[in-house]
Amino acid sequence: MTIKYFTPEGLDNLKQELQTLKTKGRADVAAALQEAREKGDLSENAEYDAAKDAQGMLEMKISHLETELGMARLLDESKLDVSKIMILSKVKLKNLKFNKVIDYMIVTDKEADLKQGKISISTPIAQGLLGKMVGDVVTIQVPSGAMDLEVLEVSR
C-alpha cells in the first residue's frame, strides 16, 4: 500500500470510522453470533453462517483501515503554495460555455463529496486544474465533452 495524504478532517474521519467498527461493529456482530448460537445446531444454521461471514468482513475492513491509518500522512496546509492550484486548494471557476461560476475544493480521494463541493484530486477536472493560476483558461475533457474553465480565484 502506498502513502495516502489526508486533511485533518479526513484523518479524524478515518480514525472515527475505525473506532466505530472496533466497538459498535464488533459488539453488533457478537450479538448476532450469540443470537444465532441460541437457535440450536450450528451445522445447519444459516443465521450463524451469515453472522460468521459478517464477522470476517468486519475484521477485514478493520485490518484494511488500520493499514491505511498506518500509511496516512497529514497534509500541512501552511506549507502549500497558494499561487497555483494544488491539493487542498479552494478554487472559484467560471464555466465559459454557460457563464456560470462554480466553487470546488480539491481533496484526497477518500474525502471527495460533490454535494459539499469537494472533488477528488484524481478527477479529470482536478487533474486539468493542477498547477494553474488565477487568470488561466483551461480546456478539460469530461465525459460530456470539453469544458472551458477560467480560474477566478485560488485560496486555502
Q: Domain-by-domain residue ranges, the chain?
A: 4-74, 77-155
Number of Cβ within a 10 Å radius of residue 90:
16
pLDDT exceeding 90 applies to what percent of the chain? Answer: 54
Which tops the pLDDT comparison, 43 or 126? Answer: 126
Number of Cβ within a 10 Å radius of residue 124:
13
Q: How many CA atoms lie within 13 A of 43 on its CB side?
A: 0
Cα separation, 111 vs 84, whole angstroms = 21
CB 52 within 8 A of CB 45: no
| Domain 4-74 annotated CATH 1.10.287.180 | yes
Cα separation, 118 vs 100, whole angstroms = 18
pLDDT band per the 50, 70, 90 thresholds, residue 58: very high
The mean pLDDT of the chain is 88
pTM listed for this prediction: 0.63
pLDDT band per the 50, 70, 90 thresholds, residue 1: low
Cα separation, 85 vs 36, whole angstroms = 54
Could you read off the pLDDT of 96-127 as tens digits, one per residue? Answer: 999 999 999 998 888 899 999 999 988 999 99
Domain 77-155 in the same topology as domain 4-74: no
| Domain 77-155 annotated CATH 3.10.50.30 | yes
Is the backbone of residue 39 left (phi > 0), alpha (psi -120 to 50) or beta?
Answer: alpha
Could you read off the pLDDT of 135-145 as tens digits, one per residue? Answer: 999 999 988 88
Element (H or E) spanning 154, and its range? Answer: strand 145-155
CB 33 within 8 A of CB 55: yes
